[in-house]
Amino acid sequence: MHVADPHEGHTSKTVDQALHELRTHAVEMGGLVIDQVGSAVKALLERDLRLADMVLSREPQVNEYESRIDRESLTFIALHQPVASDLRSARAVSRAALELERVGDESKKIARFAAKAGAVAPHDCVSSVSRSLRHMATLSTSMLRNAVRALDEADPALARDVLDKDKEVDEEFASALRQLMSFAMEDQQFLRATVDTVFALKGLERIGDHAKNVAEQVLYMVEGERPRKQKKGDRGQGTGDS
């Protein structure tokens, strides 16, 4: 339960540097995927094909970050045989990178839909839930930002805030689904577009889950204990993997 200084203080400065680099790369990756989420949703709402293409073109960079962090954490473990908080840090960063890579995948899916919807389909069903899409994007990117910051600063309080925020994303998702159902029932010609919009919303909801998983890794890294699994409907503190 002791992470006095997350980066420094080792007798071996190589260890300080290796841990620092691991986290720096995770933070850089976090910045990239947060931008991917925001850009994908903006492309969808504003029918911006150029932006959608940019998101798709940057996806390999996200994957490259994940491979690099995975490789670096494995090398760190092999060369330095870390224990206790150092071992938990290396593991947390590696697993956080995996979660962020999945966020990148969700952004890619939303961007693909944006490219398709912007080019051909009428945009009415997206417009009908634009407020929810914006709100969910704001919430999920805010969760991601705080989760990555909590990882960088080894801040358990910030990580717990992220866990608590997941409820709001889920509620917004449920509300948007209801709206879309009504929309689809009124006019079935939009059924295909509605299904795609549901996937976009679901993607944002999953991004909230990934941010929550990163926050859980931070809690394990800092406190050495897994956050308590949460039962459905019991949204107090701490939560489990989704």
Partner 1 sequence: MNTIVDIQTVNTPRQAAKMQGETSAPGSDTPSLSIVMEDRKSARANPAKAAAENLSFWYGSNQALKNINLVIPEHQVSALIGPSGCGKSTFLRCFNRMHDLQADTRYEGAITLRPDNVNLVGPETDPIEVRMRIGMVFQKPNPFPKSVFENVAYGLRLRGVNSKTELAERVEKALRGAAIWDEVKDRLNDSALALSGGQMQRVCISRALATEPEILLFDEPTSALDPIATAKIEELITELRQRVTVLIVTHNMQQAARVSDFTAFMYLGELVEVDATSKIFTNPSKKATEDYITGRYG
Residues forming contacts to partner 1 in the complex (CB under 8 A) are 1-2, 4, 9-12, 15, 81-88, 224-225
Return the SS3 of 7.
coil
Nearer to partner 1, 32 or 222 (CB): 222
Cα(144)–Cα(30) distance, integer angstroms: 7
Consecutive H or E run containing 201: helix 191-223
Q: Give whichever of 154 and 176 is closer to partner 1, judged by the CB atom.
A: 154
Task: Name the burial class of residue 78, with classes exposed (0-12), middle (13-18) and buried (19+) by CB atoms within 10 angstroms of its CB.
Answer: exposed
Nearest distance from C-beta of residue 157 to partner 1, angstroms: 19
| Amino acid present at 12 | S
Nearer of residues 86 and 152 to partner 1, judged by Cβ: 86
DSSP conformation class of 235: -
Would you say 184 or 221 has its CB closer to partner 1? 221
Structure tokens at 114: 């944006």
Alpha helices in 46-129 (DSSP H): 49-80, 84-119, 124-128
Long-range contact set of residues 9-17: C-beta below 8 Å, sequence gap at least 24: 10/86, 12/80, 14/80, 15/80, 15/82, 15/86
Q: Return the number of the residue (49 or 87) whose C-beta is nearest partner 1.
A: 87
Whose CA is closest to 85, among 17, 203, 5, 28? Answer: 5
Nearer to partner 1, 1 or 120 (CB): 1
CA distances from 67 to 91, 95, 100, 119 (A): 14, 11, 12, 33
Alpha-carbon Rg for the chain in angstroms: 19
- Minimum Å gap between C-beta 223 and partner 1 is 8
Q: Give the residue with the Cβ less far from partner 1, 1 or 157.
A: 1
